[in-house]
Structure formats: C-alpha cells, structure tokens
Amino acid sequence: MLSSDWVKNGQVPCVRRKEPTQILDASGNQIPTSGLHYTTTVNMYIGHHMNKMRFEVADMPAGKVDSYLPMSWLKDHNPDINWENTSLKWRSEYCKAHCLRKERRLEFITEDELLAEDPDNIFVMGMALYTDHDSADIKIKCLPEYRDYADIFNQEKINALPEHRK
C-alpha cells in the first residue's frame, strides 16, 4: 500500500476501480480510503533487490508512513529483517529466482558475521591475516591456493615498501 500523498508527489500512474474493493490491515480491519485506486505495475527497488508490483493507494498519516508491504509479499520474499540496523537480507529461493541479480558480488564481513551466516549461502574466496607482527612464515595461515603468494603478507616485505606519496 502506498500513501496517496506519496503517489501524488511522485506522479505514479494509478487506475481507479469501477467498484471499490475491501482492503484489510494485518488485524483484519478495513483500511479507510483504500480499495478505490491502485498503481500501474512499478519496479520496486530495495537495495539490490528488485521486483515488479502494483500497490493499493490510501490516505496515510502525513509524514509518518509512505507505504506498507502486504503480508503476501513478505511471505513470498521472506527477508531477514534486522530492526537494529534497519537492513534486509534476501535469502529466499523466490528472490534468488526472480528478484536478485544473477552475477556474484563481493561483500566484506567480519569473522563474527561470517560465522553467523548460513554456510550454504557463503562462498569464501580468500582470507588474509595482516597482523603477523613477528614476521613469521604465514604460509600455514593461508588458504592452500594462496600459499604461493604468502610472502606478500610478510611484515618485513611490507616494511620494505616505500612510503606513500601525497
């Protein structure tokens, strides 16, 4: 559902129904001024997630709410919602098939975040340790495919590099 003010200000094309339909909120109450108009199909983007949908239009408290997502949308897309940092993650098979870009993207995360992830959805390309203060051989700490390049992480070689220019 989109706010009628937001639809008007954004000049989103709408369709007026010949006969109003009843639109209910999550508690089963009819939403005032709803059921008269809906938008044409629009592309909805939330970060790298995109889907096409139509929205019902209704008056909402000015400046407080611009939209509500319907329960049917939430069930289909099933996002992981982090209320604390106001973020969404998309893991559902529906989104993988219909809404997310097909190419891979890199995301740098902490070790704690990595351990909290579903192992079936994680592809580790490599890990490096940058805190080898004793200049020890870190080959044993590298993934096997990177051991030939372990010397670039050696503290002595790092210290031998020229200073950065401004």
**pLDDT on residue 135:** 54
Which are the contacts of 58, defined by CB distance < 8 A and separation ≥ 6?
A: 1, 2, 3, 4, 23, 31, 32, 33, 34, 35
CA distance readout (Å), 2 to 54, 62, 142: 10, 12, 51
**pLDDT on residue 111:** 72
**pLDDT on residue 121:** 63
C-alpha dihedral (87, 92, 94, 99), degrees to nearest 10: 30
**pLDDT on residue 138:** 59
Question: Is the pTM higher than 0.85?
Answer: no
Contact 54, 40 (CB under 8 A): yes
127 burial type by CB count under 10 A (0-12 exposed, 13-18 middle, 19+ buried): exposed
Contact 2, 12 (CB under 8 A): yes
Averaged pLDDT in 10-residue chunks for the chain of 166 residues: 90 93 87 91 87 91 80 89 85 86 68 74 55 55 69 68 72
Q: DSSP secondary-structure letter at 155?
A: H
Q: Where are the domains of the chain?
A: 2-121
